[in-house]
Amino acid sequence: MTTSTSAADGLRKSYDERAEKDDRTVRRFTIHHDGVTIPVSRGGHGRPLVLCPGLNSTQAGLRELIRLLRRDHDVVTFDLRGHGLASAADRYSFEGFLGDLGAVMAELGDLGLPAAPVLVGYSLGADLAVHYASEHPDTVAELVLIDGANPVPEPFITDAVLPAFRAMWADLATRQEAERGTARQVLLTAQEILGLNIEIDVIRSEILDRYEKIDRPISLIMSTSMAGDSGEGHAARFNQNWRAGVERLVREHPHITTTWLDADHQLVFTHAPDIAHIIRSATS
């Protein structure tokens, strides 16, 4: 179900006015499903592309990358439940977020897209893209996966690092309080973020089976130091695990192309021009 965005919603109106200074052809609407409201944006010119954000990322946060992609693509993007301008949910799970992506993809028939879109996902969004494409391969033209959907050989969340991760996400949740009421807000608690990351570890341990079901071109854009390059703490092991997962994936699926960026997991924010260029080259 799709409705027009209400001009009476001050938060949405303010965000729309700022975002559309660069492109006044952007269309915005909402999708209602599974008890949540998902805000969707469409703008740009060229080949259709759907951009799926990741955990703790929003359309507003990805604005630079979206703006760059719109130069060469007809970009559809959205906020996942509990993120940005989307409404909160009773609980958060991988299946719930996958339902958000599925609801957006189901609406594309009404948007008049001339062809199946390129599906781009960042972090958790990459995992969602792989799962969606494995179940609906005929609805996507190809996949571009940014620093996610990685079949890492070892889980990231172990008993040894659990206290550090719990403290990190508690700090993140505290910092996100400053974004409440804005288009960059994230409504999830630290415990919910932790639970999702534990769930993602399990999902990635089984994701190779999902790749087997996809017969579309796949490109990876991966960070060389996803956990940072300080060399302190557990970062080195995390980075090694990350690279080992990609190497494992490419060994089993040599048709998958991989581009490494000298960056950490925040690459969509720090290296947006590079990522837009890679996507443009991969999908031209």
The CATH number that applies at residue 60 is 3.40.50.1820
- Counting residues of the chain whose pLDDT is more than 90, the rounded percentage is 84
Residue 11 has pLDDT above 90, yes or no: no
What is the end-to-end Cα distance of the chain in Å, rounded? 32
Query: Can you give the pLDDT at residue 123?
Result: 98
pLDDT at 9 over 50: no
Q: How far apart are CA 154 and CA 36, in angstroms?
A: 34
- Per-residue confidence at 51, pLDDT binned at 50, 70, 90? very high
Would you say residue 209 has pLDDT above 50? yes
Average pLDDT, stretch 60-76? 97
Is the pLDDT higher at 12 or at 141? 141
Q: Chain centroid to CA 188: how far?
A: 16
Q: Which residues pair with 33 in a beta bridge?
A: 36
Q: Is 248 exposed, middle or buried (0-12, 13-18, 19+ CB in 10 A)?
A: middle
What mean pLDDT comes out for the span 234-252? 96
Q: pLDDT band at 21, cuts 50/70/90?
A: low
Binned at pLDDT 50, 70 and 90, residue 80 comes out as: very high
C-alpha–C-alpha distance, residues 256 and 262, integer Å: 20
Residue 8 has pLDDT above 80, yes or no: no
Q: Are 79 and 31 in contact (CB under 8 A)?
A: no
Say if residue 267's pLDDT is above 80.
yes
Alpha-carbon distances, residue 234 vs 23, 107, 204 (angstroms): 43, 42, 20
Length in residues, the chain:
284
pTM above 0.85, yes or no: yes
161: exposed, middle or buried (Cβ count in 10 Å: 0-12, 13-18, 19+)? middle
Is the pLDDT confidence value at 15 over 90? Answer: no
Q: What is the mean pLDDT of the chain?
A: 91
Judged against a pLDDT cut of 60, whether residue 161 lies above it is answered with yes
Residue of higher predicted confidence among 7 and 265: 265
- Determine the pLDDT at residue 233: 74
Domain that holds residue 104: 2-283
For the chain, how many structural domains are there in total?
A: 1
CA 139 to chain centre: 18
Q: Edge-to-edge strand order for the sheet containing 218-223? A: 2-4, 27-33, 36-44, 73-78, 47-52, 118-122, 142-146, 218-223, 257-261
- Res 23: pLDDT: 58
Q: What is the SS3 assignment for the chain?
A: CEEECCCCCHHHHHHHHHHCCCCCCCEEEEEEECCEEEEEEEEECCEEEEEECCCCCCCCCCHHHHHHHCCCEEEEEECCCCECCCCCCCCCCHHHHHHHHHHHHHHHHHHCCCCCCEEEEECHHHHHHHHHHHHCHHHCCEEEEECCCCCCCCCCCCCCCHHHHHHHHHHHHHHHHHHCCCCCCECCCHHHHHHHHHHHHHHHCCCHHHHCCCCCCEEEEEECCCCCCCCCCCHHHHHHHHHHHHHHHHHHCCCCEEEEECCCCCHHHHCHHHHHHHHHHHHC
pLDDT at 165 over 80: yes
Contacts 24+ apart (CB under 8 A), 169-174: 169/193, 169/194, 169/197, 172/56
Of the chain, the percentage scoring pLDDT greater than 70 comes to 91
